[in-house]
C-alpha cells in the first residue's frame, strides 16, 4: 500500500508487550512512525519492576528489548503519563492509531473476612517495593516472624523467597540500599504458602520451584501425610504434562527429605483454602484455612474442617489486575481493556484507532514470551485496518508530525526521557553497581532518575 506519509502509531507502555508490538509493526508492510509512551522514567515495564532481583536470567530479556528500542526507528517517550501529561484526545489528534500495552500491576482482590487488617498486603505492592519502583514508599513493614502467602504461582514463590532469604544472599543483586536495609531487619522464621488445590494443580514453573531448594539456610517443608493427594485428573496431568510432571517430581523430592535445621523455613501447603484473616486490635494475628478435597476432575470442594495458623502478616498473590484508563472501555470482570482480537470495543463496536496487547488485553496469564504472539494478532488487525485509519484520522499530515507532539509536551513542562536519556541513567546505575561489585544498583526516586537521565546539575553531585 502506498501513502504520502507514514502511519503514526502511539504505543502506551514500554514493557515487553509494547516493545514487541512496536518491533512487529515496524517490520510490517506499511510505512510507520512509532512512538512508545511510558509513564515511568525507565523502560522495560514488568521485567524491570515485576521480576524478582535474584532472577538475572529473566532480567536478560531486557537485552532483547533494548536492542529494539535502541535501533533508532522507534521513539521512546518515557516519563510521560497518559491521562495527565497527554489526554486521549491528544493521542487522537497526533496519531492515526494507539495501542494500549499498559500491563497489569495491581493486586487482584481476595474477598475474605479480615483481609483489610493491618499486616495484610498485596504481593504486587511488595514486589514493587523490592524492585525499587519509583512510585511506591521507600520503606516496608517487615516485622512478622511468621507469614502467610495465599497463592501458588511464581509471584508467591518470589515473595516467599525474598522474605526468607538472608540479606547477604540478595545483596549481590541490583536492589537499592533502602530495600537491603529493610530486608536486613526482617525477623521472619517461617513463611507459609497456601494453595486451595492439590500439588498437580499449582502454577509454579519447574525452574522457580527447584531454585527455591537452593536458598542458603532455608528449608522447604512439604506435608505429604495431609496435603499430598492426587485424583484421576491430577494423575493424568502429572503424567502427560511435561511441566507439571517436573513440578510434582520436585515437590516429591522435597517431601522425601529429612527435616532440616535451617534458621528459616518455607512451608508449602496444598488442599487448604483461605477462609479468614484473624486479627486482634486491628492487626493480623493468624489465618484460618479450610481443608479441601479433590473431586476427581482436578477441582476441589470444602470439607468443613478448619485450621488456624499463627502469623503476623499476610500476602495475597492471587493474580494481577489491570489498571483502567479513563475513557477506554474496560472489562471489570477480567481487569482488561474490552477488545476483540486486540481491537478495542465498546458495546461490541470497534473504537476507531484504539488497540491493545499484552496482559491488559488478555489478562495476567502466561509467561513474558507469550506476549509476542499476542502482539502479532493485534498488529495483524491494525495493519488490516490501515487504509481506514489513514482515511478517518482526525488530524492532517502537519498535525501528525513527530515534532508537533514534542512541542506540545515541552509546552506543558513535561520532562520527557528519550532513549539517549535512558542510556545516561542506565550507565549511571551500572557505574553504581560496578563500584560495589554488582552489575547494577537501581536509582529509585523519580526526580533523581529524571535528573540523571536529563543530565542536570544535581546528577553530578
| pLDDT at position 399 | 62
| pLDDT at position 5 | 85
The three cell numbers locating residue 429: 546505575
Per the listing, cell 523502560 goes with 43
Give the full edge-to-edge strand order of the sheet including 283-294. 272-280, 283-294, 300-310
| pLDDT at position 460 | 40
For 304-323, the pLDDT digits (tens) are 999 999 999 999 999 999 98
Q: How far apart are CA 456 and CA 461, in angstroms?
A: 10
Cβ(1)–Cβ(387) below 8 Å:
yes
Q: Which 8-state DSSP code applies to residue 401?
A: -
| pLDDT at position 100 | 98
Rounded mean pLDDT, 128-139: 95
For 387-410, the pLDDT digits (tens) are 999 887 755 555 678 899 999 999
| pLDDT at position 397 | 52
Whole-angstrom CA distances from 82 to 12, 136, 256 are 8, 19, 53
Mean of all residue pLDDT scores within the chain: 93
Q: How far is CA 398 from the centre of its chain?
A: 38
For 320-356, the pLDDT digits (tens) are 999 899 999 999 999 999 999 999 999 989 999 999 9
| pLDDT at position 391 | 81
For 266-306, the pLDDT digits (tens) are 999 999 999 999 999 999 999 999 999 999 998 999 999 99
Q: How far apart are CA 42 and CA 457, in angstroms?
A: 20
Query: In 61-205, which residue ranges form alpha helices assigned H by DSSP?
Result: 61-69, 88-94, 123-130, 154-164, 167-170, 177-184
Count the helix, strand and coil residues of the chain and give each as a percent rounded to the nearest 5.
40, 25, 40
Cβ(250)–Cβ(86) below 8 Å:
no
* For residue 97, pLDDT beyond 90: yes
pTM of the model as a whole: 0.92
The three cell numbers locating residue 400: 501528525
SS3 122: strand
Rounded mean pLDDT, 87-101: 95
Domains and CATH numbers, the chain: 7-105+322-417 (3.40.50.720), 106-320 (3.50.50.60)
Q: How far apart are CA 252 and CA 58, in angstroms?
A: 26
The three cell numbers locating residue 250: 520436585
Percent of the chain's residues with pLDDT above 70: 96
Tally of helices (H runs) and strands (E runs) in the chain = 18, 20
Amino acid at each position: 500500500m502506498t501513502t504520502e506519509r507514514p502511519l503514526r502509531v502511539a504505543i502506551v507502555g514500554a514493557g515487553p508487550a509494547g516493545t514487541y508490538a512496536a518491533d512487529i509493526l515496524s517490520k510490517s508492510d506499511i510505512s510507520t512512525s512509532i512512538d512508545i509512551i511510558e509513564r515511568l522514567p525507565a523502560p522495560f515495564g514488568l521485567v524491570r519492576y515485576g521480576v524478582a532481583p535474584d532472577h538475572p536470567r529473566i532480567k536478560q530479556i531486557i537485552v532483547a528489548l533494548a536492542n529494539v528500542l535502541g535501533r533508532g526507528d522507534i521513539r521512546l517517550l518515557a516519563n510521560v503519563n497518559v491521562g495527565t501529561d497527554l489526554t486521549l484526545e491528544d493521542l487522537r489528534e497526533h496519531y492515526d492509531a494507539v495501542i494500549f500495552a499498559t500491563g497489569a500491576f495491581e493486586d487482584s482482590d481476595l474477598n475474605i473476612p479480615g483481609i483489610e487488617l493491618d499486616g495484610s498486603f498485596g504481593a504486587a505492592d511488595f514486589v514493587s517495593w523490592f524492585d525499587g519502583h519509583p512510585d511506591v514508599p521507600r520503606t516496608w513493614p517487615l516485622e512478622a516472624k511468621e507469614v502467610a502467602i495465599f497463592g501458588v504461582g511464581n509471584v508467591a514463590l518470589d515473595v516467599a523467597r525474598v522474605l526468607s532469604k538472608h540479606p547477604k544472599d540478595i545483596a549481590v543483586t541490583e536492589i537499592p540500599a533502602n530495600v537491603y536495609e529493610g530486608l536486613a531487619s526482617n525477623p521472619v522464621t517461617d513463611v507459609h504458602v497456601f494453595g486451595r488445590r492439590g500439588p498437580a494443580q499449582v502454577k509454579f514453573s519447574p525452574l522457580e520451584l527447584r531454585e527455591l531448594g537452593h536458598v542458603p539456610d532455608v528449608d522447604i517443608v512439604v506435608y505429604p501425610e495431609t496435603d499430598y493427594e492426587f485424583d484421576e485428573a491430577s494423575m493424568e496431568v502429572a503424567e502427560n504434562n511435561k511441566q507439571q510432571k517436573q513440578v510434582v517430581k520436585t515437590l516429591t523430592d522435597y517431601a522425601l527429605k529429612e527435616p532440616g535445621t535451617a534458621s528459616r523455613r518455607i512451608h508449602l501447603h496444598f488442599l487448604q483454602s483461605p477462609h479468614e484473616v484473624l486479627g486482634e486490635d486491628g492487626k493480623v494475628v493468624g489465618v484460618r484455612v479450610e481443608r479441601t478435597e479433590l473431586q476427581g476432575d482436578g477441582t476441589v470442594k470444602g470439607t468443613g474442617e478448619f485450621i488456624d495458623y499463627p502469623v503476623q502478616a499476610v500476602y495475597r498473590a492471587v493474580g494481577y489486575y489491570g489498571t483502567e484508563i479513563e475513557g477506554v472501555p474496560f472489562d471489570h470482570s477480567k481487569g482488561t481493556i474490552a477488545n476483540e482480537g486486540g481491537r478495542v470495543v465498546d458495546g461490541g463496536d470497534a473504537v476507531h484507532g484504539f488497540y491493545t496487547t499484552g496482559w491488559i488485553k488478555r489478562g495476567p496469564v502466561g509467561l513474558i514470551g507469550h506476549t509476542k504472539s499476542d502482539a502479532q494478532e493485534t498488529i495483524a488487525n491494525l495493519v488490516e485496518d490501515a487504509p481506514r485509519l489513514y482515511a478517518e484520522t482526525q488530524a492532517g499530515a502537519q498535525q501528525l508530525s513527530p515534532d508537533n507532539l514534542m512541542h506540545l509536551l515541552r509546552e506543558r513542562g513535561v520532562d520527557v526521557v528519550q532513549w539517549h536519556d535512558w542510556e545516561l541513567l542506565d550507565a549511571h546505575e551500572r557505574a553504581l553497581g560496578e563500584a560495589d561489585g554488582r552489575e547494577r544498583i537501581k536509582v529509585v526516586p523519580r526526580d533523581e532518575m529524571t535528573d540523571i537521565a536529563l543530565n542536570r546539575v544535581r546528577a553530578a553531585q
